[in-house]
Amino acid sequence: MRAILTFHSIDDSGSIISYPRKKFSTLLEKLRKSDIPILSLDEILASPSKQGVAITFDDGMRSVYKDALPILKEYNAPAHVFIATAAIKNSDSSEQVINIEDYDMLSWGEIEKLLASGIQIEAHTHRHPDMRTISREQILEEFHLSHEILASKIGVKPNYFAYPFGYHNQLARDCASEFYTASLTTELKPLPKSYDIAAIPRLDSFYFQTSKTINKLDTPLMEVYLKLRNFMRNLKGSQCKATAV
């Protein structure tokens, strides 16, 4: 198995961006029992034949520190947290953050503790915009602000970037390539041997919340399951566009 998993919040609220705490532990136990190594992005991207799973969290929800970190420590698992800097608690910014301002977000102190625990902190823009809808100048401003704040608050220069909502176009990919080693999407696919370094797919954990789907992860059935989920995703997207028209 070769894949990058993406999560947002580890909690039991049942929201669309939540992954239950117990299931998160079950998932990591499944990987361990299946001898599937949990790798950093550096490790899994280093070789096209490298097998394993990388764990990522988008946005910077507080539950990553409160609920996910103890489980990650238990399994000695590396992870990457992609931070939308304007959304962080006790931030100097009062700017609007798109679609995540109402969630319980990490503080800078908690981010420092994540970093001290070996969790890698990465970039997720400053204001969390849909990058398909903004200009080159606005994209570069998002990157510059994110870099400046991460450097001044925690002394980090991010290597990796995750597109907000997974949305991107050629302009966004070109700009991201100027700043980052690699950029990650939410395209629902395992990590192939060959890929666009500016548009790397990830498996959204939303689709792996039951024992049955968790057990499919390292089997041939996963490919069938992902094709079905992608078909349903695309169908839903087409219906939404038709309704909008």
Q: Residue 191: inside a domain, yes or no?
A: yes
Q: Residue 131: inside a domain, yes or no?
A: yes
Q: Residue 73: inside a domain, yes or no?
A: yes
Confidence of residue 240 (pLDDT cuts 50, 70, 90): very low
Distance CA 221, CA 111 (A): 37
Q: Residue 24: inside a domain, yes or no?
A: yes
Q: Which domain CATH number covers 20?
A: 3.20.20.370
Token pair belonging to 57: 């969290």
Is a pLDDT exceeding 60 seen at residue 239? no
Burial class (CB in 10 A: 0-12, 13-18, 19+), 146: buried
- Residue 242's pLDDT is what? 37
Residue 50, domain extent: 2-210
Q: Residue 154: inside a domain, yes or no?
A: yes
pTM value > 0.85: yes
- Residue 217's pLDDT is what? 87
DSSP-assigned beta bridge partners for residue 87: none
Q: What is the pLDDT of residues 130-139, one digit of tens each?
A: 999 999 999 9
Total count of domains within the chain? 1
Q: What is the pLDDT of residues 163-179, one digit of tens each?
A: 999 999 999 999 999 99
Distance CA 237, CA 245 (A): 13
Q: Residue 221: inside a domain, yes or no?
A: no
Q: Residue 114: inside a domain, yes or no?
A: yes
Q: Residue 68: inside a domain, yes or no?
A: yes
